[in-house]
Structure 1
Amino acid sequence: MIGFRTTQRTRGTIVTRGTTAKAGRSTRRLLAAALALPAALTALVATGAAPSAASPTSGPTAIVSMGDSYISGEAGRWQGNSLSNTGSRQGTDRAWTGSGYDPTRVYGATAANGCHRSDSAEVRSASGTAQERINIACSGATTENVFRASNGGVPYKGEAPQADQLAAIAATHDVELIALSIGGNDLGFADIITTCATDYVVWYSYCHDDQQAVVDAKIDRAMADVGKSIDEIRAVMSAAGYTASDYRIVLQSYPSPIPRAAENRYPESGWSRVGTGGCPFWDRDSDWARDSLVPQIADRLKAVAAAKDTQFLDLRDMAQGREVCARASKLVTATQPPSAASSEWMRWIDSDSTQGPVQESMHPNHYGQLGQGRCLALIHAKPTGDFSCRNTPGSGASGMYLTAVS
């Protein structure tokens, strides 16, 4: 779900900064820039951003996305889901060239290493925010891939730990906001999805009971490491000369990729959930995932955000009615073209594995990422407070709206 691992910006002012305060950190950040320059070139090439010739204090404003597949842009290749396996798959496959499929059209160079940073990823879709929107998240990443290498961080898919990449960016840009999505892979979401789907297709048994036990056994450690990820980001920014008021961190939760049982357009019996809808889950497991697992993780992430004094963006209901197999959405067909207003916003499980890699399954697709990008743009304009982000039925990304979270 959160990145299947191998086994399976015109600037919008958000915090008013006086010129005196900015000049006060000039010397520290210039020194940090000089020390980080070699790493900066490497990291910026990896993220697809152009190196900046400006000094850190006068560099372009930036927002940065870090973490896992739910923010990297996994599944951005797809505009809804279609049963067609030929050509553009009725307009859903953005990798179609007219004669074949080229994932680099969507994921760029990261199509090769599997980080899958799409051109519509959340930060890329957050228009009207900062001069540069930089994505260093990677599909499949865990918290240890965020930590600095000097503090237990581990390179991933041929790239340096994300905090070390951030250090290079902070030295050459005026980073205003850092969006973080992390923790799902620490909980083993991919394995949970695989287990639940297998229990539906093969074993005819439920998964929610034993998988809840798995989550409960891992969640305390996972949340502690999410907290450490925030500490690592703060350490990097401090070392680059930033004060706490110079930037913000927004920790976000995960949207549910599947609907409640009562909101599924396919019956529980038979094979339509497998062969047609791409949502092979029992009703009780669907309800558990939608109304227990996703909220449990969101609530725990909100607690981490509060403890670490960061903003929280709650996405648990972001795709309500737009999930895979949701009654309120439709498959793309010859007579029902792709549409942000009516198509699904989540990538299905491709039962015969003929449409792209399995790691794209159960992630926000192109439309979902446009929605998340709008959520990020909206919270960018809110200097304080926690918010949930929801969609407006029958509308595209422009219909996303925030609600304050107490």
Structure 2
Amino acid sequence: MRRYRWWFGGLALAGVVVLVAVFALLGRQPPAPQDDLPGPPGTGPLTVVAMGDSTLSGEGAGNYLQETNGQNGNWCHRSPNASVFKIEAPGIEKKINLACSGAPSAQVALGDIKQWTEPSQAQQLAELTKTHRISAVVVALGANDDPHFSGLISECFRAWFSERIPPCSERIKQDWQNRVDAMVPKVVGALEDIRKVLRRAGYDTEDYQLVLQTYAAPIGPDIPEEYRSLNGCPFRKEDLRWVKNEAVKTLTAGLRDVAAQTSARLLDLSAAGDGHEACSGGDDPSSEWFSRLTVQWTDLTDADRAGHAIQDSFHPNAAGHAQFARCVSEFLATSDPAAACLEGDDGQLHAATMAGPLN
């Protein structure tokens, strides 16, 4: 009997070992599938995306990607110096630039409108959701719709050449508010299409951040007189004053309305370039965050490129993009519905909370 008791005891011990192993296996949780990860659904790296026009494409920052510098008619002018590539946010693994110089809202929205041979940016975003998890979409848009902001700058440029031509602001300001009002629903439609793309990909609104960025004034009246010429900034003083103090502020108010209508977060850059506009540094341009009049002289000898020889002018330069990225990074780390990019005591841009509702 003692021999059988030993056998039963060994069997019981083995049973205990098996039970412990079973409980251990049951208690061990398998790795969570990527669809169950916090934040955006899908698979792939956590990604921030830039969409819109030249402000985000990198126009003015130089070193453009060859395929967007006139190759096969593509002049989107995407630069590795663009602000999206300087953004720092926890967990972000990829930074992708879909913005294209000169893009109107219709090319950012879903549809068949192309910009410099490129299809809808919203459609490109839809493809991106198949391989990336979109954490944030930063958009700069509207200036190439009814306001035609780059055309405004060009018109003011032409007015400088002849005193017989009235200041550009005299004519433009007569219907500037109407232009901005006409722009608003177009930008609203583009942002709604961005949300539609992400919703179709399984995103809830809380899975990602949609940030609408406004425009900074690239030029201002407080520049040395000798640089208010072909040396850098050939504009009349009254036009410089109007662009900075009225045009940009009205444009910002319109985009604030867009953000309210689409529940986008608003990042106000209207004062971001104060003291750092093109030509503001005089003999030392190192403090400037915007490009001066820039001519690609070799392009003037090429019929296909001549029309783009001054395309870089009066856009954020590489230093400006780095500063804007600093502000965007700070904003993405908050839950504030709106903030303004303002220069701090350290000489850097920071995101300052804006009080009051957007609407």
Q: If the TM-score is normalised by the length of the shorter chain, which range does it land in?
A: 0.7 to 0.9
What is the aligned counterpart of 1:381 among 330, 333, 349?
333
Task: Give the superposition deviation at 1:106.
Answer: 3.7
Is the Cα–Cα contact under 8 Å of residues 108 and 118 in structure 1 kept in the other structure?
no
| CA distance 1:393–1:148, shift in 2 (3 Å) | same
Consecutive unaligned residues of structure 2, counting only runs of 5 or more, are 1-31, 300-308
Query: What does 1:6-155 align with in structure 2 at a 5 Å threshold?
Result: 22-23=35-36, 57-77=42-62, 105-112=63-70, 113-129=74-90, 130-149=92-111, 153-155=112-114
Is the Cα–Cα contact under 8 Å of residues 264 and 325 in structure 1 kept in the other structure?
yes
Task: Give the superposition deviation at 1:393.
Answer: 6.9
Task: Give the superposition deviation at 1:325.
Answer: 2.0
Amino acid at match of 1:234: R
The corresponding residue for 1:400 is 349
Task: Give the superposition deviation at 1:60.
Answer: 0.5
Task: Give the superposition deviation at 1:330.
Answer: 4.0
Cα deviation digits, residues 136-188 of structure 1 (max 9, x gap) = 00001000101112xxx412212110000000112211101100101001111
The corresponding residue for 1:354 is 297
| CA distance 1:25–1:321, shift in 2 (3 Å) | closer
| CA distance 1:117–1:353, shift in 2 (3 Å) | closer
Is the Cα–Cα contact under 8 Å of residues 177 and 250 in structure 2 kept in the other structure?
no
What is the aligned counterpart of 2:160 among 192, 200, 209?
200
Q: State the secondary structure of the residue aligned to 1:109.
A: helix
The corresponding residue for 1:91 is none
Partner Cα distance (2:200, 2:38) in 1: 11
The higher radius of gyration belongs to 2
Partner Cα distance (2:253, 2:190) in 1: 18
Q: State the secondary structure of the residue aligned to 1:364.
A: coil
Is the Cα–Cα contact under 8 Å of residues 147 and 232 in structure 1 kept in the other structure?
yes
The corresponding residue for 1:343 is 287
Query: What does 1:355-374 align with in structure 2 at a 5 Å threshold?
Result: 357-374=309-326
Is the Cα–Cα contact under 8 Å of residues 184 and 257 in structure 2 kept in the other structure?
no
Cα deviation digits, residues 55-74 of structure 1 (max 9, x gap) = x6231000100000001100
Does the alignment pair 1:251 with 2:212?
yes
Total equivalences in the alignment: 309
Partner Cα distance (1:194, 1:181) in 2: 20
Task: Give the superposition deviation at 1:76.
Answer: 0.7
Greater Cα offset, 306-315 or 207-216: 207-216
| CA distance 1:392–1:266, shift in 2 (3 Å) | farther
Is the Cα–Cα contact under 8 Å of residues 65 and 80 in structure 2 kept in the other structure?
yes
Is the Cα–Cα contact under 8 Å of residues 25 and 242 in structure 1 kept in the other structure?
no
| CA distance 1:353–1:76, shift in 2 (3 Å) | closer
The corresponding residue for 2:129 is 170
**Matched-pair identity in %:** 29
The corresponding residue for 1:298 is 252
Partner Cα distance (1:394, 1:205) in 2: 41
- How well do the aligned residues superpose, as a CA RMSD in angstroms? 2.5
Partner Cα distance (2:346, 2:350) in 1: 14
The corresponding residue for 1:315 is 269
Q: Tell me the TM-score normalized by structure 2.
A: 0.80
Amino acid at match of 1:195: E
Partner Cα distance (1:142, 1:108) in 2: 22
Amino acid at match of 2:265: Q
Partner Cα distance (1:325, 1:393) in 2: 22
Partner Cα distance (2:297, 2:323) in 1: 27
Q: State the secondary structure of the residue aligned to 2:173.
A: helix
Task: Give the superposition deviation at 1:307.
Answer: 1.8
Task: Give the superposition deviation at 1:191.
Answer: 1.5
Partner Cα distance (2:287, 2:75) in 1: 26
| CA distance 1:132–1:317, shift in 2 (3 Å) | same
Is the Cα–Cα contact under 8 Å of residues 25 and 241 in structure 1 kept in the other structure?
no
Task: Give the superposition deviation at 1:219.
Answer: 1.8
Partner Cα distance (1:275, 1:354) in 2: 14
Is the Cα–Cα contact under 8 Å of residues 328 and 351 in structure 2 kept in the other structure?
no
